[in-house]
Amino acid sequence: MEGQPQETADGENVLNLSRLGLETLSAEAVSEERRSDVQQLLLPHNRLLVLPAAVASFSQLLLLDISSNGLAFVGEALLGLAKLRTLLAKNNRLDEFSLPKELGRMGLEVLNLSGNRFEEVPGQLLELRALKSLSMGGNRLKSIPAEIENLSSLEFLYLGGNFITSIPPELANLHYLSYLVLCDNKIQSIPPQLAQLHSLRSLSLHNNLLTYLPREILNLIHLQELSLRGNPLVVRFVRDLMYDPPSLLELAGRVIKSRNLAYSRCELPENLIRYLDLASKCPNPKCAGVYFDSCVRQIKFVDFCGKYRLPLMHYLCSPECSSPCSSNSQSESDSEDEASIAAHRMQKVLLG
């Protein structure tokens, strides 16, 4: 049953055993010489229920495709594949108890577990420091663990089609992330920290429960594609002016900052110095003020490419700083606002 030797464009030796109705793979089925030669082993569309132990004898394997089998379990055999970089195991019956405990010490760079039964991201998977691409679309994930930040090499993260309700701010620590797919989930808000994802080029958020976007998202200067269709964001827009009056501490802090009063570390206790460092500048271009804990939450529509208007969340220092909310026509004072200038950097916004 040994398949014909094939070579890929980069000269890698491929053994294609897909669609053969295999229920297992015995070592004898492939000569020893061939086993130590093969770099890509393709076993998709068979009837494997567990990963055959014989797979471990393919010592030079770089890529293993075991997609579309009935796999419920991938055992220790996987750990013997010291050179494995790509594991494709989509469309199986895997869950968080299916993978070897020691998976985290493998050098995997690409892992595709889409179309399985994961309800959470397995802990050992979050130890794969070399991982560049992780796909877990079409599973049953309810959350993204904060430890996702450990996958520091990650460039591509696909989590579409799950039941995820929120995004942990720690996701923003993935400095190389350029593609983030979170479409078809139940996400209600985007943490402003996401603006720290400086490498981000594509952000898919369609078919979620978003009612607004944080204003900070305009800082994603490399973002080329943002998909938002199927969110209540334009429909349900709240105009709440929730405002807790500032504390005396905050008022004093505001005066020090906005008047630029000099202070030094020997005059003030450390906690006050830290507090003063937390000042945020009021985004109203006509206001020179700052705020600390007390601010006005406001949703403001910003023009994108003159075609769509996006509700963006921003925070003002006082109710007087919010522009009068009439049923605003297209040319409100936004036009000179830095926000709308930054908005033009985004080339492609998919709303429809």
**Pick 52 or 289: Cβ nearer Zn ion:** 289
Binding site for Zn ion (CB under 5 A): 282, 284, 287, 289, 317, 321
Smallest distance from Zn ion to CB 289, Å = 4
Residue 262: which residues within 8 A CB-CB, separation 6 or more?
none
Checking DSSP bridges between strand 133-135 and strand 156-158, what pairing results, if any? Answer: parallel
* Full DSSP string of 37-97: T-SEEE--SS--SB--GGGGG-TT-SEEE--SS---B--GGGGG-TT--EEE--SS---TT
Q: Output the six-digit token pair for 223.
A: 């973002």
**Pick 176 or 315: Cβ nearer Zn ion:** 315
C-alpha span between 282 and 297 (Å, rounded): 11
Smallest distance from Zn ion to CB 300, Å = 13
Smallest distance from Zn ion to CB 319, Å = 10
Smallest distance from Zn ion to CB 211, Å = 24
Smallest distance from Zn ion to CB 282, Å = 3
Smallest distance from Zn ion to CB 309, Å = 23
**Pick 139 or 340: Cβ nearer Zn ion:** 340
**Pick 202 or 323: Cβ nearer Zn ion:** 323
Residue 342 DSSP symbol: H
Residue 62: closest CA among 18, 11, 105: 11
Residue 299: closest CA among 203, 235, 246, 209: 235
**Pick 217 or 282: Cβ nearer Zn ion:** 282
Smallest distance from Zn ion to CB 259, Å = 14
**Angle, helix 248-258 to helix 270-277, in steps of 10 degrees:** 70
Supply the Cα-derived Rg of the chain in whole angstroms: 26
C-alpha span between 19 and 47 (Å, rounded): 9
**Pick 220 or 321: Cβ nearer Zn ion:** 321
**Pick 279 or 321: Cβ nearer Zn ion:** 321
